[in-house]
Amino acid sequence: MATVRAVLASVHGVGKIEAGLSDYYIVDEIQGTYRGMMIAIAPEYWSVFTDFSLEQLADTLQYLAAKVRLSSFLKFPRASKKKKDPPQYDPRHPHISTAKLLTQTKKSP
């Protein structure tokens, strides 16, 4: 995850990544894509990456990071809570606590 965030920050800028990128959406995308790629692409095709130098791997990751649409992975901050109206007191139906009801039933035979 740190590598993904670092590569995205190097391409799109640290501010964009730190401010609004959701780790949840990134991980969800990686998990889904990984499962599909493991089914569709045979393991021998992945062996090309084992021979990459660090520079080649970094270049490849940056090339791929440039194609990422960050708008798909933005955080959605929670809206502020709405205030609830206080309950209306109705003298015809007064509240009786459960504890009071239980003590009354225990006292009566």
Assess if residue 69 is contained within a domain.
yes
What is the DSSP annotation of 73-90? GB--PPPPPPPPPPPPP-
Model confidence at 65, pLDDT cuts 50, 70, 90, reads: very high
- The whole-model pTM stands at 0.65
Domain count for the chain = 1
Model confidence at 109, pLDDT cuts 50, 70, 90, reads: low
Assess if residue 36 is contained within a domain.
yes
Assess if residue 97 is contained within a domain.
no
For the cut 90, the answer to whether the pLDDT of residue 48 exceeds it is no
Model confidence at 66, pLDDT cuts 50, 70, 90, reads: very high
Assess if residue 26 is contained within a domain.
yes
- Cα separation of 36 and 41, whole Å? 8
Degrees to nearest 5, angle at CA 37 with 32 and 34: 35
Residue 64: name the closest of 52, 75, 56 by CA: 56
Assess if residue 101 is contained within a domain.
no
Percent of the chain's residues with pLDDT above 70: 99
Residue 26: name the closest of 44, 52, 56, 1 by CA: 1
Model confidence at 53, pLDDT cuts 50, 70, 90, reads: very high
Q: Give the residue numbers spanning the domain of 31.
A: 2-73
Assess if residue 108 is contained within a domain.
no
Amino acid at 93: H
Assess if residue 58 is contained within a domain.
yes
Assess if residue 102 is contained within a domain.
no
Provide mean pLDDT across the span 27-50: 90
Would you state the pLDDT for residue 76? 84
Would you state the pLDDT for residue 3? 92
Cβ atoms < 10 Å from Cβ of 26: 17
- Cα separation of 42 and 48, whole Å? 12
Question: 29: exposed, middle or buried (C-beta count within 10 Å: 0-12, 13-18, 19+)?
Answer: middle
